[in-house]
Amino acid sequence: MLVRHRMTLNPVTVDPQDMLAAAQEKMTAGHFRRVPVVQDGILVGILTDRDIRRHAGVEERTKVRAAMTETPLTVSPSTTVEEATRLMLKHQISGLPVLENGKLIGIITTSDMLQAFLEMISTPT
């Protein structure tokens, strides 16, 4: 099974110059725990809810750039779900941006992996 069949297409993104409060609002509204950081169409980082919590109380005055993880691990749409899962387990992360020809096209998360697993083991009723 390939990442392209499990990823979320066109994920919500933030700019490194955005304030953490704005990023947090997007994440809360979308019910997700991470957001790719894109500048001029290029992936420059990833921001997680954990990154934001580290700046509790100053979200209105702190830019995404100060809290994000720069140069995150990524996968391509042709990466297998198994390999993406191994990467996530090895590096103890819960999501991977998906790049094709250097452009962000999606994101695959632990939830996507669990859904795939459930579908594989479920018996027809």
Q: What digits encode the pLDDT tens for the residues 74-88? A: 999 999 999 999 999
Give the C-alpha separation, 83 to 76, whole Å.
11
**Residue 109 structural domain:** 3-121
Average confidence (pLDDT) over 93-118: 93
What CATH number should be reported for the domain holding residue 71? 3.10.580.10
Higher-pLDDT residue of 123, 5: 5
Structure tokens at 125: 């009723």
- Residue 122 is predicted with a pLDDT of 79
**pLDDT of 95 over the 70 cut:** yes
How many domains does the chain fold into? 1
**pLDDT of 116 over the 90 cut:** no
Using alpha carbons, select from 48, 54, 16 the residue that is nearest to residue 32: 48
Say what the pTM is.
0.90
